[in-house]
Structure 1
Amino acid sequence: MESTNQLEEIKQKGKTLKFEDDDNDDAEFFYNKEFDFTNDLPAVLERGVDYRQNQRQNPERQECIFEKEPEGASESDYVVNFSLSLLEACSLNEKVPNIISRILLNNLYIQMQEKEIEMTERHQQIALDKLASVRAELLSDYVTKFKLTNHVDQNFFENLARQYVAQNKFHEAALLIYKFKFHNLFDLKVILDKLIDSNRMPAAKQLCEDSEELKLYLIKALSTNDNCKIAAQMIKEFRFDINNFPEVKERLMKNSMRYYLGRFLYKKPGSDDYLSLDRIEDMFLGFKPMLAYLVEDLVFKGKMNEAKGVVLRNYLDDTLRQDVREQLNDVIYNPNLDPVPYDVFGPLSVGEYLRLPPHVTVEFITTNDDIKKLDQLFDEPFIGVDSEWRPELTKFHKTCPSLFQISGSKVSYLLDFVSLKDDKDLDNKLSDIFSHKNVTIVGFAFNSDVEQFARKFPNLKFYRYIHNFIDAQNYFSLVTKSPPMTGLAKVCEKTFGKPICKKEQMSNWERRPLRLSQQHYGALDAYILVDLIQNLAKQGEECNCHLEKHVRVLDNRHYRPVAKDDDDEEGNGFLDSRPPAIFNPQERQRNFGGGDKKKEKDFIPSKGLTPEMKSFGFIVDKTLFKVGKMLQERKVDCKIPEKGLESEQICALAIKEKRVFVTTNLRLFNKKLNVPSCCVAFKTSPFSTLFFILIQLQTNSLQSKSFSNYEQKILISLAAFIEQRWQKKQFNQFPRCDEIIYIY
């Protein structure tokens, strides 16, 4: 088979899909990077339907993918030709996600298995003719499902892989090499370099999973400023020792240091993002390699006096590079030129911020003898709780809660978990307080604290059972009928007219003694929850939102945090040693500031949940108004909520009106909410297109003259196939399938 010639012919003739309407005006759908597949797929289907119905009036359609059927063609002939032609068009368009092509292929296969379509030799020939244009990801399944193994062999796929390499389609070539085990027939290091250049990391990782040599080569190739985080992730996944990769370790440490240093060099003093040099130095306290990198970059930026001060205060002479040490030998440190560290028992930011009231005292619990001071809390009706931990400076640096704050109305206690984390007497005392029937524990987004304690201190039990608990964040939203504020500072600003200064939030909470500003911040964070809940309780009485109705038992005794790849790894020690490196004086291009802000969202659906489509219409979340209008235009019963409502409130409205809630807020499903009978987590994805089709089928809006029986069969089969996967929860069979989840 001359697959190359066929592919080029398809590209030349099939880049533009043309459908002629009754007025003989061409309607073109260009398959290039600007093509909006999500919005245009329904139009493509409708044009295909129109061609089927009007082909007798317009028999000559040379450039249409839906070719004129031969005399005596059956319904199966048309369905196979229709589906394979659409599959071919989807494969040729790089912007069309793989999931669409896979669904078309699997749908056709299911119809063949259920005898709705009879596979003939002619159908096999059609499939064989289109084989060269099918995406590499689907080739193996395509050949198997259409029983083409007798027509193609290993040589065919090897030649196709070589053609992909010659055409610079290294991703497609890598998929074939991995699938058919052609590793010994290609220069894989060259292909890995090309995959890295095109940011095809999954394919690169897959290609070298059976070779230690290739794994090491891949990590070394990724050991650059731009890719060191990916290299670190590969090291974790391959279960290698980070200390065997000094380049990756050094770049991770330097990138972290430069992120904080950038907030000193390029942010204006007084701005929220500004960090003074003494705060950065304190952040790296105890980690001489990080401090040495800080000194080296300060020297590079010409701040010699500041660099000399950091060296003298932290005894870094033996840790610095020799060239940097020589430059600093002649510098006479003048402490008067260094800004004096600013530390007060109060807010650090300039402006009106909340302060700890004078009548509230701060008590430190640092020894076993101090634990008895907590007995005063048994007389408090409300107790505010919070915790602080040192920021994780790099991917391999692990920290744990080092300060636990617990406050009544008169005393705010700061518990030193650096020294008392294993104290059973403290755990028992806190357990008695948290389970006391006359005490209500007040938290703010307390789930994150619970997860930290469960992950770092699994032997402690005080946080696992709270007899009376109220989350101030949720109760504030209920009382004020406003969207849940993201942070405590904003809630306080709306309630008290002043925010909390958050300058000390990202600071070294392991240092002892704490700075005065840290003491104030920690004590205020716990105390303000008591003041806040009392204020909200008064407002709740006026609006019939009584506090006692929302106080609940918080039972985490059976909670186990989701396992992570590095849970069994010891993070201590990563920052203690500096990796060996050869200084290159020509390496002067530095990237200061701006860390990678992209974070993957972990969403794990609850076990035992089943989908159900019985409802009285749909309701969309606050960010999906356009989706709601689109559904309404398609005559789907969809309610668009009023502006200002938050996801939790819209979710409650969906429960009340028995509607399907369409949302992008996956965090809702991790909360213990009474979700509707059917929730859909909707993202802009390939599924959204077919999801519209499914909705139309459910509401019987496809029963119109514009669709023939053939097209209805195809669309119904597509929708049935997706629904079948949902019911069986076979999400992992398709990429990005977890972006649509049903919750029962």
Structure 2
Amino acid sequence: MQQIITNLEHMWTDDTRKDKSNRDIAQYLSNMLFRSCNPFALVLFLIDKAKDTHTAKTTTLSFFMMKEFDKWCKMNNSKLDIEKLISKDIQMKIYDICTRNHMTMFDMAVRCFHLCYHGNDHFLPRIRKFIENKKFKEAAHCAGKLGLQHHFDMSEIVLPLILQDKVNLLEVYVSGFPEHQEMLVRYLDHLCDRETDLDLVQSSIPKVSGVKMDKFQRKPLSKLAVRLLKLYKIPQDMCPNISNVRGLGALRYLLHKRFIEKGMGAGSWEEMVRGAVGDNDFMKEQLVEQLALYNELEEAAKWASVYNLSDSVIPEAVCSVRDDLISNKANNSENNISMQQDSACGDTEEDWENSCYTEAEINLSYYQLNLPLENIEIVDTLEKYDSCMTRLTQPGSVVGIDSEWRPAFCGQIQKVALLQLAVKDRVFLLDLVSLDKLFTEKMWQEFAQSFFCSSDVLKLGYGIESDLKMILRTFPCIKENMLGVKRIINLELLAKKFVLKDISPVFDEDDDSDKVRKPDGAAVDDDNSDSTGFSATAEKGLSEVVRKCFGKPLNKSEQMSDWERRPLRVQQIRYAALDAYVLLELYEVLLQLSKQQNSNIDMEPMISMKWLKPSKNEKRRAKQRGDHKQKAPKKLPARQTPVSGEPSSPKSLRVVVDTMLSGLGKQLRSCGVDVYIVEPYADHDRAVQISRKENRIVLTSGLPYDMIVGQVGYEMCYNVMCDTAKDQVIEVLNHFNIRVQQHDIFSRCQVCNGDVYLTIPSKDMELLAQRKVQMISGQSSNSSDQTVHEKVQLPELVTDLPKNSELETKFAEYGIDWTTVTVLGNGASIQTETVIQSIFSKVDTFYCCATCGKVFWEGTHFDRVCEQFSHVLGTQAKGPTVYEKLNENFS
């Protein structure tokens, strides 16, 4: 074994090695592991004896060996007798090596040497040693990875980390262990209790250094607890103190929406308040108190009566108003009689009621539904559903789509409650709360397939991706069906392609149509009407687009409603129907604009498929919860069978690769394959567009394959399995049965995918280089020969330049404009600046890409590339060089 580590260290430090990727070292180590009777003991010895093990960096040989061993174990674990090969002594030694010198290797050591198992208590003394030495970070990391949290009290590891504000380590500490996640959140809930003395808690652990008391306060602790509560999906009733904090935040938000933004109707306000308060006595009292702070004393008194709160728990001012309301109620009939008598006598007292806006007057300021209420049908039975689907799936139908769900407060789970589907003469409101009780998973799958995946129905949405994502979250059983969605347009993106700010309202209105009128007839300009909340400048999203197209915005006061409450109010029904129906009208306007502007904009653009993928935050949270599993080995899809028959040439293969596989794309170009590499940061649907437009096969990997194959079909999509570009090239060429010959190497430009080269003798390329320097230096083509010679240091044989007319004629034959040093036709600049001066005397011929102007020449680089692709080259005898072949093709 000593000889093995000697060889490895010699290879690691050998600067003369050509293979800088360390594949040769990895191969040598793999061979030694296969030969060893106990690979675990071998790796332990190698890491222990490596000279750089004490250096805790990822650039060391010891880290490289552990990383390669981790890969080796994943491939060969099923073939190894773990119980016989890994003893407790081996486990303790690798633990000591990693925790003493190289913590960066600890996670891999836990996986490779199977350190996390029931009965691994022999590691406890080591972890307690960390605690004694006040190394709480290391103690938390080791205890968490080894699953030994239950042996430690909260005050031993959790509390010190909180005091030191190292809360990110808490997530590592409980990752993958739900019971400890719950214990952690409950402990934080205990710290948030008003009865808990935080100073006393902190002083109980004097050994903790670096305490940050500003973080050990109820507000930051409650924020941390709320985040973890949501992260670990823990029911809020387990944490009453945290629940009160979150509930109060939700209540304050509702108060702001109602009384500051004035963006909630009375019905929505009442529903949402009841949902946020629930049966929590603390929240009932807080509601009344917060309303009093807003000086809404009558509203506060009303809710105090609704919840039957005693005078001792509500503000004194609210008590007084409540008493007045009770006494006034008894005198209502007498007051009404008195008001009638005053009116008959001509009393001129101001009528405050008539000075307020009526519902009808408010509606005049908003765009209204152009459909009778009886044409809106709530679909809540199987019979109504069948009738609805018969109408919606008629070929040629255009359907507006929107969905509603209840706003989430205090950790409530959000689900789509209503799905609005509008056609020209009718709006169907699918009551998903009721239908979910009647439907099976198969019925939901059939609905997704027949509606969302129908190519006969055009579907319109505004910000539709968020609706689809929420529908998928509500009904995860339809995910596979939703991979094949067709003809769905996001009007939000389509509307941005038109200059909507210059559009006059489509519907003719009176001069005062954009003004709010008071009962006395005085017109108030819309932009100055702050008190009504009708200001056009406050509109956004769909409401703003509707205002620009139709002159009035949408009334969004019902947006924050309890959409799971049944029956729905009439205001909710109108609001929901309009949000879907207006999309049909908006699309008609955009079609008219397209015709008026003679636009070539695609009026049925594909939507992005990002909604099918979990977001970065969702992935991160899954990882923090410990929900992520070790990636299963990639399996070849059932319909992804290799191409059989006679081998084909690289020129016969036309592909498009997404940005994840750009390295593979460049390698394939080097082999002569026609490759379109999608622009950086473009969505996967861009690859689908290119595939359809240019008839190219999509090369992708992982989850995007499932999304893309549903749109282009199995024949036009391939799921790449390998990880490295070199292995991916072999995989793709073998799958499509492509035979690469030597003349295929470099037959395409790696930069631009061009397959036409201009052949230029060395002397003439030197002239072009000289001309390029003249242009850069600002000198004319008639500059003195000596001056040019000094600037570019060219040999004497080219210092006597022919006349411009002769040069222009000569280089035109090559396909080059001498005056501008560009390719004739497309104007691409010839990149002579990339050619080193010494190369001119060593190379006879240069080759210039006719598409991008990149300059190539055959030399050692060509030999290296041929050697690099020796694994895919055909066995036929060496033919003409790549550039000779290209020259033949071009001429």
Q: What TM-score do you get using the length of structure 1 for normalisation?
A: 0.50
Q: CA deviation at 1:405?
A: 3.4
Q: Which structure is richer in relative contact order (CA contacts within 8 A, separation 6 or more)?
A: 1
C-alpha contact 2:107 2:145 (8 A) present in aligned 1: no
Q: CA deviation at 1:329?
A: 1.2
Q: CA deviation at 1:252?
A: 3.2
Q: CA deviation at 1:309?
A: 0.7
Q: Which of 226, 230, 250 lines up with 1:229 in the alignment?
A: 226
C-alpha contact 1:628 1:640 (8 A) present in aligned 2: yes
Q: How does 1:316-715 map to 2 (within 5 A)?
A: 316-318=306-308, 322-331=312-321, 355-357=368-370, 362-363=375-376, 365=378, 378=391, 382=397, 384=399, 386=401, 388-394=403-409, 397-398=412-413, 402-414=417-429, 440=457, 442=459, 444=461, 445=464, 447-448=468-469, 451=472, 454=475, 471-473=487-489, 504-510=558-564, 518-531=572-585, 599=618, 609-610=636-637, 619-621=657-659, 641=678, 646-653=683-690, 656-658=695-697, 660-661=699-700, 668=707, 674=713, 677-678=717-718
Correspondence 1:106 to 2:70: yes
The corresponding residue for 1:283 is 272
Structure 2 counterpart of 1:382, one-letter code: S
The corresponding residue for 1:134 is 102
Structure 1 counterpart of 2:252, one-letter code: R
C-alpha contact 1:365 1:415 (8 A) present in aligned 2: yes
Structure 2 counterpart of 1:653, one-letter code: I
Deviations 1:243-270 (A, max 9, x none): 35322332332233334445567x766x
Q: How does 1:16-95 map to 2 (within 5 A)?
A: 51-53=13-15, 91=57
Distance 1:130 1:178, change over 3 A: closer
Cα distance in 1, alignment partners of residues 184 and 547 from structure 2: 52
Q: CA deviation at 1:648?
A: 0.9
Correspondence 1:254 to 2:211: no
Instruction: Name the SS of the counterpart of 1:305 in structure 2.
Output: coil
C-alpha contact 2:244 2:283 (8 A) present in aligned 1: no
C-alpha contact 2:379 2:431 (8 A) present in aligned 1: yes
Cα distance in 1, alignment partners of residues 160 and 684 from structure 2: 43
Structure 2 counterpart of 1:170, one-letter code: F
Identity of aligned residues (%): 15
Cα distance in 2, alignment partners of residues 91 and 128 from structure 1: 17
The corresponding residue for 2:341 is none
Cα distance in 2, alignment partners of residues 199 and 341 from structure 1: 53
C-alpha contact 1:367 1:419 (8 A) present in aligned 2: yes
Structure 2 unaligned spans of 5+: 1-7, 23-30, 33-41, 81-91, 193-220, 329-351, 499-539, 607-611, 623-627, 644-652, 733-744, 747-858, 862-866, 872-891
Q: CA deviation at 1:438?
A: 13
Cα distance in 2, alignment partners of residues 300 and 480 from structure 1: 41
Q: CA deviation at 1:111?
A: 11
Cα distance in 2, alignment partners of residues 171 and 630 from structure 1: 41
C-alpha contact 1:317 1:325 (8 A) present in aligned 2: no
C-alpha contact 2:405 2:564 (8 A) present in aligned 1: yes
Instruction: Name the SS of the counterpart of 1:141 in structure 2.
Output: helix
Distance 1:542 1:110, change over 3 A: closer
Structure 2 counterpart of 1:52, one-letter code: D
The corresponding residue for 1:23 is none
Q: Which of 190, 193, 197 lines up with 2:159 in the alignment?
A: 193
Distance 1:82 1:179, change over 3 A: closer
The corresponding residue for 1:173 is 139
Structure 1 unaligned spans of 5+: 1-44, 56-65, 67-74, 116-123, 148-152, 551-560, 565-596, 682-686, 707-711, 717-744
Instruction: Name the SS of the counterpart of 1:225 in structure 2.
Output: helix
C-alpha contact 1:343 1:515 (8 A) present in aligned 2: no
Q: CA deviation at 1:674?
A: 4.5
Deviations 1:684-731 (A, max 9, x none): xxx9xx867977999999xx999xxxxx99xx9xxxxxxxxxxxxxxx
C-alpha contact 1:384 1:441 (8 A) present in aligned 2: yes
Instruction: Name the SS of the counterpart of 1:227 in structure 2.
Output: helix
Distance 1:664 1:341, change over 3 A: farther
C-alpha contact 1:404 1:417 (8 A) present in aligned 2: yes
Cα distance in 1, alignment partners of residues 295 and 125 from structure 2: 64
Distance 1:631 1:407, change over 3 A: closer
Deviations 1:576-633 (A, max 9, x none): xxxxxxxxxxxxxxxxxxxxx9555889999965599999787445xx8xx9699979
The corresponding residue for 2:127 is 161
Root mean square deviation of aligned Cα: 7.4
C-alpha contact 2:190 2:241 (8 A) present in aligned 1: no
Q: CA deviation at 1:312?
A: 0.5
Cα distance in 2, alignment partners of residues 493 and 613 from structure 1: 55
C-alpha contact 1:345 1:517 (8 A) present in aligned 2: no
Cα distance in 2, alignment partners of residues 321 and 85 from structure 1: 77
Instruction: Name the SS of the counterpart of 2:560 in structure 1.
Output: coil
C-alpha contact 1:355 1:524 (8 A) present in aligned 2: yes
Q: What TM-score do you get using the length of structure 2 for normalisation?
A: 0.44
The corresponding residue for 1:59 is none
Instruction: Name the SS of the counterpart of 1:405 in structure 2.
Output: strand
C-alpha contact 2:655 2:699 (8 A) present in aligned 1: yes
Cα distance in 1, alignment partners of residues 704 and 75 from structure 2: 35
Cα distance in 2, alignment partners of residues 378 and 213 from structure 1: 49
Cα distance in 2, alignment partners of residues 213 and 522 from structure 1: 39
Instruction: Name the SS of the counterpart of 1:318 in structure 2.
Output: coil
Q: CA deviation at 1:306?
A: 1.6
